[in-house]
Structure 1
Amino acid sequence: MAHLPSSNTTQTFHENTKRSVLIFISVIAIILGTIFVSLLQLKSPKVVPSSAATTAFSADRAFSYLEDFAVAPHPLGSKEHDRVRDYLVGVLEELGVNPEIQKTTSLHDTGSWIAGGTIENIVAKIEGTNSSKAIMLVAHYDSVPGGPGVSDDGAGVSAILETVRALKEMKSLENDVIILLTDGEENGMLGAKAFVEEHPFVEDIGLVLNFEARGNEGPSFMFETSDQNGWFVKEFVEAAPTPVAHSFIYNLYKLMPNDTDLTVFKAAGLNGLNFAFGEGLGHYHTTSDNLQELSKESLQHHGEYMLSLVRHFGKLDLTKPSDGNQIFFNIFGSKMITYSEQLVIPIMVLTVILFVITFIHGYRRKKLSVLGMLAGLLVMIGGIIGSFLIGLSLWKILTAILHEKVWMMGTDITFGTTYLIAFSLIVFAFLSFLYTMANKKIKVESLTMGALLIWLILLVVTSFLLSAGSYVFAWPLLFGLIGVNILFRSEENSWKSYLVTAGFSVPAFLILTPVIYLIQMLVTMNLASALMVMVSLVGALLIPILSTLKVKTKWMMSSILLAAGLLVLVTNTLNINNKPTTEHQKASDISYFMDEDTNKAYWVARHAVDDYTSNYLQENVIEGNTSEFFPILNWDVNYSEADLYDLKAPTVTVISDEVQGDKRTIEYQLKTNRQAEEIFMQSLSKMNISTLILNGKEMKLDKNEFTTQQPLLFTYIVGQSGEVNVKVTVDANESIEWIVADLAYNIPEIKGERPPEYSTYGENSFVMKKIRD
């Protein structure tokens, strides 16, 4: 006869199950509550109405300026650009300042090419009563050719105008305030370069406050500082009403290729703080960066920074000596923690000592061993690798399935954040499975200490190599080690042990959650693999829960997490598949390329062929790269052959050609034949270029040797003049071969109307030819 369980055994089983479920719910509540609190810092301030006090910053008042100037694309050199310039000068005059226009030729080596153009910076000064150094407010007023630039950077410009208006209503500040509306930022920071090279105000500047955007909504956060930022950061935290700033993000930004005007000012030795809002990346540089899509809350955040910081620094001595660098990060909403970078190594040493003490404590209580901890280290490495592969594989699968929606997946914050949640749940499910399996042979304490050893290694590495980001590992690890010491003295698998684990993981969720979110916002889910590694590090602090908590069965928790992750992932994917819509637009661009020498032309789509671009790419569509027919650009595209239109490549006139000794100087006049806005010139042959002069201004070259693999390339914004003068000196014995092309911000024929669910970066046409000796 089979042995049946007693009623007491059944009752105990149900009580244990109920207890486990309650613990699981409590842990989830702690984690979700912490995540919610951590993300409160990313909330923009409420809009101040136009009826507010005249000394306050009002986004409504600032928006009224935008309605007058950010209504159409106004790139450098365009007629609309001139209208916007005149409007801004007029507003500043009405506000009681005396603006001037700095008009000059500006050249800038971006690292990949040389950019040039005739810029018109708008400069003004509000005199202080006893100025130590000036505060300079900076935003660029040019837009990209494809959109009206309401967020980038009309929001910064309008915030400056509203700030100037408010300042004129107040008692005069001690320090001067310089207003700089730069030109040509979108073409390679040309205005900023011209200002630092030529304007006399540069000598007077003590602090630059630069305002930018890489989206159309979200909090404005301070994402970059100049070096030796200690005093400025401390004063920023004191003055800003709702500061959002993470020194880890600044460290990350320094590793990225992105530049703003502050890059140029920092290179000139000026102190500065850089601000931007970055949610709504899908609107960045597109037609949908318009008045209807801008978040006024983001504009308000820009302005609150601007006005409060000008008032605060306006009464301080800006000649104060540098004070080292600061570590800074938000912890509860706008509450920030800052401390000197000089404390990074002492904090690291303290953490190493605590780690050693914790190990000795656990060893003496027979909770762990050296071999056990090393085994835990290997398991954690496996967890990191597995999490990396989960992020990489899921993203590759999704982008393959939704090939035509990849752009929207990466740039629409709604979909990106939802995928981040789904991937994170799946990683936690994987970690739960991994550690439940590992716990069969390795004690949970050894698994935990092995994982924390990875944290310790990362802390040591960042403390020496990425000090501004070391706090991300220091404080979660310190609290985690304290929690482990308490666990050593707690009953295993008890309420106390689980709640201690969850409680001492709170600092990790508070610090890392906004960092992970901001990285996803800035660089999109294309970095899913790296983001999942960070998620796995947070999960490592929950090993005692992930490995031992049995919700009915030992596999129930991982099953719940996996099911939840897959549900979110599938739902989000189905939702994307029903897009685009007017609320969630997809980029849809078409360009025309023509080679005058070969009499061949192509229609090119930079994204998957869709309902609009299929009007142009109808037959024999090739997935390839523009370098196959236009060596100047390296875009991954879809293209097909196109009809030839009556377009001419630029005219190249040799003004002079002289040989002196072993050097040959050739002067060219390049002129567009079709009112194109830009002219390109790229070397095709090997050249040793001694001098390069564009429109009378010499470019200081970082190198002189150019080859077919690493050519000289420059682009010049010819604007309404339509021409550029080029003077180049090469070795006399060299053969000369160039590609010359122009770029017009239009296409030769419109085929069909773009549906409202599509936005665009702008439509362009390129016509090229080669010139030889």
Structure 2
Amino acid sequence: MRRAWLGIATVVAAVVAVALLVARPPPPRASNAPPEAFSEERAWPVFLHLTRTLGSRATGTAQWRPAAAYLLEKLRELPGVEVELQEGPGVVQRGWIVESVQYSARNVLARIPGRSQEAILLTAHYDSALEGAGAGDDGLAAAALVEVARALTAGPRLERTVILNLSGAEELWVAGAPRFLEHPWSKDVTAFVNLDSMGTRGRLLLFRVTEGDLGLLEAYARAAPHPHGSAFAQDLFKTGVIPSGTEFAIYAEQGKLHGLDLALYEDGYAYHTALDTPERVERGTMQDIGETALAVTRELASALPNERSAIGSYYDFLGLTFFTHTPQGMVGLMALALLAAAGAMGTVLRRELRGVRWMLAGLLSSVLGVVASLLAAALGAGLLVLLGRTFGWFATPWLAVVGFGGLALAGFLAVQHLWVRWAMRRGVTLREVMLGTWAGALGVWGLLGAVAVTQGAGISYLPLWWLLPGALGLAVAALAPRYTWAGWLIAFVPGALLTVRLGAMLLAVFIPMAVRLSAGIPLDFVIALLAALPVALCALVAVPRALEAGAPGRVSAMAGGVALLAVVAMAIVPPFSAARPQRLRVEQRDEAGRSTLLFRGGGGQDLQEAMKGLAGARRAEAGQWRLDLGEAQSLEQDAEITPQAAPSGAGLRKVTLRLQARGAQELKLKIPRESLVEWSLGPLPELRAGDTFYRAGHVEPPPEGWEVTLTLRGEAPVPVEFTQVFNTPSPEAQTVLDRLPEWVSSHARRYRSRMLSL
């Protein structure tokens, strides 16, 4: 019995190790690599200059223009490359709050001529978030594209032209991409590759492709040296649960271009914080970015697929190969898998089982096992919520795997223990229990696969890798009992590798993202589900083989005991650390003569521990704390109001505002919807039903001031809110922020507001 359980545990451990190891990036290539190859060592000085020498490069800040100038200089060193700075005013519409924002674009463009004018676009952004140096997001990719351009010029001339857009305003509501689409070069682009990031480590994940572009996927599959992608990531983006976006949507929707979206996803703890520094980056990650971008660009520039086909699913297998399927192909493969599973189940019935009811009982025990797994993990999360010790998995994510995953295993084994006892009382042998449960597990996977395919879900590839090998393995075990172990290995290993890899990816994305999510339930339940589901899915095939060894109840108790210890540890350990901090959104509000700091946390975090060192801080709205800083500076001299001649039409009047920045990086206006007829900023944005204000802004306002003319309805005074936005807080506010614990990451913007009566 012990040997059987030890053997299963050894196989499971090996599967987990392989699934995690293949996700590591390749070693960086040295600076003496062939000139036509990508070298991380050659690109590293560009990366360090952007992220360490310049630091934060947010749009409109002091280092934004020097960053563009530096990239222009490096690209102009390359022979035969046309380089241009796309600069000029633009307007972007912000989405979640409808706002019309003026800004200055500074896109760094490069054009590597091919034999034809038809072009492939490579794009990344060199600007960063305000909070940090943007090493992962997106300094790695920006520096990599400079080296990619050098490698392309060192190789033979390509059939198609290659254009680089190093976007200068991606973090400003993806404002750089729309400006590029106004450039004449954009008219030549037929396909694009977008590179972005929400992490600092690991390998690029292909997580989105434009609809119907199976040919682009196949080109990626042919070219990428270490392909890494999953259609399930695209499924998730379609649901809107991931609170991030890239310029991919602009090129695909506004530009009507065909393209691929690739991004880093590991170590999201540093995303949009001061921790996103070059010291945090894993060496080899840029090598993966550059090798992938270079190879895929050469493939697309040489043999761009013209035919379009619908996409059913896509995924890589351990980075060794990449599979792409049409919807019809997925239906055919699933039908084949279901037939194979039915054949294997029929073989078991004919040779081993005494009636179909034992197979149906095995199917029922498998379904109940999955349900018990998820319930057990949810109970563990519920215990943490009841104790008020949420987020205990955030800084130590392996505790979530051991705790919630261990509870899931214990729940599954507990059901199997009851099933074994019930069956043996009725004279069923352990081998019959094992084969019946194994066949039942195939039935569960068959149901999951059929549902996934009929719904057109990209994740439908996963059931295939459990059904086809599972059917073969079960047939081997039924036809040649002496090779049952070999049959089980065939059935378990391929599907488990993909399941563990996908589960690790989801945890790597969602655990760091938890401090940015808004959910209707405590996020402990979400993380418990993500940790438990891969365990339950693997247990469907792993546990039946163990049943013949006996003692599932004893192993269930052991797994549950270890898991409960991990849950207790999650209730005790600090939930956050300096490397994996609690994230606070902080605003300094100067209005009505008073200055106040507002603290907000994401993910339903309780801020009480973070606020302990701030005397005078108090709870305000749900999830928000306030701290009064005293009197605020007046804005009386920063707005000039000049009435204009009334336009034709009764009841209308014009007012011109000249608004001064006084060192602010952004100016804002908020105007009542019912009073505004038109403004000098272009067409009024289309508001949603519940919006009561028109909002306008100007990033990096001109020194002479921002002039806006409003056409208002009626003669009654109209209250308009004018706000100056500073990227840094006042010295007094910064003193307060410095008293926050080291496990808190915060960055405050200062908003100085006053009401204008027009």
Match of 2:71 in 1: 88
Residues 278-357 of structure 1 mapped to structure 2, 5 A cutoff:
278-316=265-303, 318=304, 320-325=306-311, 327-357=313-343
Going from structure 1 to structure 2, the CA distance change for 1:354 and 1:675 (only over 3 Å counts) comes to same
Match of 2:448 in 1: 458
Going from structure 1 to structure 2, the CA distance change for 1:29 and 1:665 (only over 3 Å counts) comes to farther
Correspondence 1:530 to 2:529: yes
Would the aligned equivalents of 1:745 and 1:764 in 2 still touch at CA under 8 Å? yes
Match of 1:53 in 2: 34
Going from structure 1 to structure 2, the CA distance change for 1:129 and 1:355 (only over 3 Å counts) comes to closer
- Return the alpha-carbon distance in structure 1 between the equivalents of residues 487 and 106 of structure 2: 59
- Return the alpha-carbon distance in structure 2 between the equivalents of residues 61 and 190 of structure 1: 30
AA partner of residue 220 (structure 1)? L
Q: Indicate the SS of the match to 1:79.
A: coil
User: Which among 563, 587, 591 is matched to residue 587 of structure 2?
Assistant: 591
Q: Indicate the SS of the match to 1:172.
A: coil
- Return the alpha-carbon distance in structure 2 between the equivalents of residues 399 and 557 of structure 1: 27
How far apart are residue 250 of structure 1 and its match?
Answer: 2.3
Would the aligned equivalents of 1:182 and 1:192 in 2 still touch at CA under 8 Å? yes
AA partner of residue 173 (structure 1)? L
Would the aligned equivalents of 1:588 and 1:758 in 2 still touch at CA under 8 Å? no
Q: Indicate the SS of the match to 1:762.
A: strand
How far apart are residue 556 of structure 1 and its match?
Answer: 1.9
AA partner of residue 530 (structure 1)? L
Would the aligned equivalents of 1:593 and 1:604 in 2 still touch at CA under 8 Å? no
Match of 1:235 in 2: 219
Match of 2:659 in 1: 671
Would the aligned equivalents of 1:78 and 1:719 in 2 still touch at CA under 8 Å? no
How far apart are residue 418 of structure 1 and its match?
Answer: 4.3
Going from structure 1 to structure 2, the CA distance change for 1:69 and 1:357 (only over 3 Å counts) comes to closer
User: Which among 102, 108, 129 is matched to residue 87 of structure 2?
Assistant: 102
AA partner of residue 353 (structure 2)? K
Residues 343-742 of structure 1 mapped to structure 2, 5 A cutoff:
343-358=329-344, 360-362=346-348, 367=353, 379-395=365-381, 397-398=383-384, 406=391, 409-410=393-394, 412=395, 415-441=396-422, 447-488=437-478, 496-497=483-484, 500-524=487-511, 526=523, 527-531=526-530, 532-545=532-545, 547-550=547-550, 553-570=551-568, 576=574, 580-581=577-578, 583-587=579-583, 590-596=586-592, 599=594, 601-604=596-599, 606=601, 617-619=614-616, 621-622=618-619, 624-625=621-622, 636-648=623-635, 651=639, 653=641, 656=644, 658=646, 669=657, 671-672=659-660, 674-682=662-670, 687=674, 694=681, 697-698=682-683, 701=686, 703=687, 705-708=689-692, 712-719=694-701, 721=703, 724-726=706-708, 738-742=720-724
Would the aligned equivalents of 2:107 and 2:176 in 1 still touch at CA under 8 Å? no
Going from structure 1 to structure 2, the CA distance change for 1:242 and 1:399 (only over 3 Å counts) comes to farther
Q: Indicate the SS of the match to 1:289.
A: coil
- Return the alpha-carbon distance in structure 2 between the equivalents of residues 184 and 346 of structure 1: 45
How far apart are residue 260 of structure 1 and its match?
Answer: 0.2
Would the aligned equivalents of 2:596 and 2:629 in 1 still touch at CA under 8 Å? yes
TM-superposition CA deviations, 1:378-410 (whole Å, max 9, x none): 55454444433444443454467685x84x943
How far apart are residue 673 of structure 1 and its match?
Answer: 5.1
How far apart are residue 244 of structure 1 and its match?
Answer: 1.2
How far apart are residue 74 of structure 1 and its match?
Answer: 1.7
How far apart are residue 292 of structure 1 and its match?
Answer: 1.6
Q: Indicate the SS of the match to 1:224.
A: strand
Would the aligned equivalents of 2:370 and 2:412 in 1 still touch at CA under 8 Å? no
Taking structure 2 as the reference length, the TM-score comes to: 0.85
User: Which among 110, 129, 138 is matched to residue 123 of structure 2?
Assistant: 138
Please identify, of 455-464 and 389-398, the stretch whose mean Cα deviation from structure 2 is larger.
389-398
Any unmatched runs of 5+ in structure 2? 424-432, 515-522
- Return the alpha-carbon distance in structure 1 between the equivalents of residues 485 and 715 of structure 2: 79
Match of 2:59 in 1: 76
Any unmatched runs of 5+ in structure 1? 1-19, 626-635
Correspondence 1:246 to 2:242: no
- Return the alpha-carbon distance in structure 1 between the equivalents of residues 457 and 480 of structure 2: 35
Taking structure 1 as the reference length, the TM-score comes to: 0.84
Please identify, of 659-668 and 250-259, the stretch whose mean Cα deviation from structure 2 is larger.
659-668
How far apart are residue 333 of structure 1 and its match?
Answer: 3.8
Correspondence 1:176 to 2:164: no
Q: Indicate the SS of the match to 2:273.
A: coil
Going from structure 1 to structure 2, the CA distance change for 1:689 and 1:133 (only over 3 Å counts) comes to farther
How far apart are residue 564 of structure 1 and its match?
Answer: 3.5
Match of 1:630 in 2: none
TM-superposition CA deviations, 1:400-447 (whole Å, max 9, x none): 7685x84x943x5xx224422432122111100122113333555555
How far apart are residue 575 of structure 1 and its match?
Answer: 5.5
AA partner of residue 500 (structure 2)? T
Would the aligned equivalents of 1:675 and 1:720 in 2 still touch at CA under 8 Å? no
Going from structure 1 to structure 2, the CA distance change for 1:673 and 1:232 (only over 3 Å counts) comes to closer
Please identify, of 453-462 and 138-147, the stretch whose mean Cα deviation from structure 2 is larger.
453-462
AA partner of residue 542 (structure 1)? A
Match of 2:21 in 1: 40
| Aligned residues with identical type, % of pairs | 19
Going from structure 1 to structure 2, the CA distance change for 1:648 and 1:347 (only over 3 Å counts) comes to same
AA partner of residue 313 (structure 2)? I
How far apart are residue 207 of structure 1 and its match?
Answer: 1.8
Match of 2:196 in 1: 212
How far apart are residue 113 of structure 1 and its match?
Answer: 3.1
